[in-house]
């Protein structure tokens, strides 16, 4: 039976949104969740902290370890991984969900914002994965999952927001390379939504309430992630789209994931 019971998941950016939804789905099996995120104090524009997330995860049936982690800081990442291993005995799954976004053109994207996106998205993903790998290699069914898009190398995905696309594709290039490097040892895949998902990024950056009404709930990505993470390690090097994953699992009715008609949903970038 496919299950994440007693598995330990190290999830970046799990204090809210998609990261929290994935954590809560795994918690239903009785998984251990390491919440690696910066949100220790309430934010005026962003819901949730690592501590409110921990309560939700434990209410869902899991065991939570909330840790304040800035994934740009190598020492903080190493310390968090060490604490996770000490607390739970190992790491079975690494989920790189933390991300920075600025969908701005070249002249509107200053180097501070460029560096932020690359240090969190590409470098942070590489760092967290690299730090978890020695422990993943000891697991019976280890997985790494990046919340990053298919590598569609077309100008239409770069021209509106070169810096952001480069940073997100950097995460996906980690999948391409590491899946080959660790084939047969660790499953390494990417997952991306087919449509906009109702998160703080959409609320605050990508259109506000009008756009939020045309999104799917984060649970669709969580259910797709669960399907991937409960496969064996032969499933690796894939650039998955949430809806396609669930259709392969036999899901045909997606109305549970949205409050609007299918025709009103906004397609996400890169797919």
Any catalytic annotation for residue 126? no
In the 8-state DSSP scheme, what is residue 8? Answer: E
Would you give the end-to-end CA distance of the chain in angstroms? Answer: 32
| Contact indicator for 197, 219 with CB cutoff of 8 Å | no
32: nearest Cα among 57, 59, 1: 57
Give the integer Cα–Cα distance in Å for 257 and 263: 14
Strands (E), 69-221: 93-96, 143-146, 187-192
Give the total residue count for the chain: 271
Between CA 258 and CA 271 the distance in angstroms is 19
Residue with the two structure tokens 């299918």: 262
Q: What is the DSSP letter of 109?
A: -
Write the CB contacts of 107 (distance below 8 Å, at least 6 apart in sequence): none
Give CA–CA dist 42/39, Å, rounded.
7
Residue of 126, 164, 226, 257 marked active site: 164
Q: At what angle do helices 17-27 and 219-229 cross, to 10 degrees?
A: 50
129 sits in which H/E element: helix 124-136
Contact 270, 150 (CB under 8 A): yes
> Which residues carry out catalysis?
164
């Amino acid at each position: 039976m496919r299950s994440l019971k007693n598995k330990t998941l190290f999830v970046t950016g799990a204090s809210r949104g998609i990261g929290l939804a994935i954590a809560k789905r795994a918690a239903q099996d009785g998984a251990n969740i390491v919440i690696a995120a910066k949100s220790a104090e309430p934010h005026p524009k962003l819901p949730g902290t690592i501590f409110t997330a921990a309560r939700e995860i434990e209410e869902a049936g899991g065991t939570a370890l909330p840790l304040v982690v800035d994934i740009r800081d190598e020492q903080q990442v190493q310390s968090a991984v060490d604490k996770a291993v000490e607390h739970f005995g190992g790491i079975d799954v690494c989920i790189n969900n933390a991300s920075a976004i600025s969908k701005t053109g070249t002249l509107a994207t200053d180097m501070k914002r460029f560096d932020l996106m690359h240090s969190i998205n590409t470098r942070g993903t590489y760092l967290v994965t690299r730090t978890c790998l020695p422990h993943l290699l000891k697991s019976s069914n280890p997985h790494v999952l990046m919340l990053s898009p298919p590598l569609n190398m077309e100008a239409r995905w770069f021209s509106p927001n070169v810096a952001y696309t480069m940073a997100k594709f950097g995460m996906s290039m980690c999948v391409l390379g590491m899946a080959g490097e660790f084939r047969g040892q660790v499953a390494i895949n990417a997952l991306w939504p087919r449509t906009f998902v109702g998160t703080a990024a959409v609320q605050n950056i990508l259109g506000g309430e009008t756009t939020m009404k045309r999104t799917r709930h984060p649970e669709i990505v969580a259910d797709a992630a669960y399907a991937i993470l409960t496969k064996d390690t032969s499933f690796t090097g894939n650039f998955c789209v949430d809806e396609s994953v669930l259709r392969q699992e036999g899901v045909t009715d997606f109305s549970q994931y949205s409050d609007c008609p299918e025709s009103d949903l906004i397609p996400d970038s890169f797919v």
